[in-house]
Structure 1
Amino acid sequence: MANILIVDDDHTVAEVLLSYLERAGMGGTHVTTGAEVHRFLSAEVPDLLVLDVMLPDADGVALCATVRSQHPDVPIIMLTARTEESDRIAGLTAGADDYVVKPFSPRELVLRIRSVLRRANQQPAGTGDNEILRDGDLTLDRDSHNATLGTVALSLTSREFELLAHLMRHPDRAFTRDELLTEVWGWDYGDKTTVTVHVRRLREKIEADPGAPTRLTTVWGVGYRWDPITTPDQTASTPQQSSLGPNPQHTTESQPTTTGRS
């Protein structure tokens, strides 16, 4: 059973969400302060964190960044009553996987939670064996969830990892943000800013010059594309791993509505 940590000082919101999680077959723990979050995380790691932006003793965005740095694989969904795009960007930049604005449908939030958990735990299609993607000096190991750029280990969130893997599996193909929301996030609709911010975060980690990207590029009027950097030597020397080129062959190795403040 998935264990969801709900961080919100609005007890009504938390109680409603906990009841919906229980109906969906998930467990939940409710805390109200940043201090309680740190105490909880020192004892156990939840499957997902639902985090309110405004807490009595902490700023939710700063807390999100702290949790993300300590637990990069724990998905985070932020809750807020703030509707400005700059607020959403701040939360996503801090490391949130999703951003839900109050008032919200608890049923929809549970669906978002399921989607995030499914993507975090999803194995690649195929035999079920490990998948390794490689392009130039960049390597993704799906089984260990490790990403390296040359000799440097990259710290990627689960959503960043899945987005990068999806793009690397489809080199030279331009994706719209709507397509990426559907294929990576598993949403039929959503805030496209989510994709934009995740792309920006990835560029900061994999591009030599994030302001002039050469790998994860923008296709104006369309969306984003992965431009592979593959050498003939690399293709010949690593036949067992994914070698990205024009025709990549990827192989494997053996309806109530809550109200709230914030």
Structure 2
Amino acid sequence: MFKKLFSIAALSAIATVTYAGSAQAANFSYSSGIFRDSNVTNQGAFSENVNNPVYETFDFNDVSLPGNGRVKYSFVGSDDSKSKGVTSVGTGSYGPAGVNGEDNTSAYLKVFKGMSAVIETAKEGDTFNYFGINLGALSIGNTLEFFNGDTAVELKYTDTAGNKKSASILTYDILTALAPTKNNDEQNGFFEFFSEGTADNFDRIVISQLTGGGSGFETDNHTFRIGTGKFVQASVPESSIALGMLAFGGSMLLGKRKEKKSVVK
């Protein structure tokens, strides 16, 4: 099924780009992202949700294909550019840049000609309603797609001139025109995708490199939210708030006890 989808994408990458509004489509935005730790600037840009435990984040820094009980990764397709490298996780010269264009010396995901990295919900019936991704060293042949089952999810966005647009496949031309950060003469940026409702939740993301010439599709620091329906920004988990209130209440009680003890002599 993945090979079939890949072939369809390769044949229709340009034809499926549209600029008409959609009745129900996911939105996406683009920015320079943030640093996970302000003291560490060589690991690319991250989602503002990276430090919120409600979200799943994979930074690829253990140099292996990530995944867990909720999110799974795989490679599909046929690599016919062996001399240029194979789809992998590792370090290199074209890692997605940091917030201000800083070099990324950490590990990241690399997809080369004829290949796709496929990201799916690991549990049947689960869907994503948020996805954030650091895109970098954007080059010709890069494509990004979202699916719910076998149905492509339309994506709405506002371009840099303020025009409302949409596309079912995000191509290099679209992405590089939007990405705000530059490094090694190529555009980089942090892109975030938000569901507007159940109809545009997605359970599969396909990152592909359709052409060769030594180019690849480099991404890093993927952040997910498993959810159904419209995406709503998640706050700190209630359990953490409750623990904080308990700790605060305990300190207040201890303070009062000390105050009483100092008065009674």
**TM-score, reference length from structure 2:** 0.27
More helix by share: 1
Q: Which has the higher strand share?
A: 2
TM-score (norm 1): 0.27
Q: Which has the higher contact order (CA 8 A, sep 6+)?
A: 2
Greater Cα radius of gyration, structure 1 or 2: 2
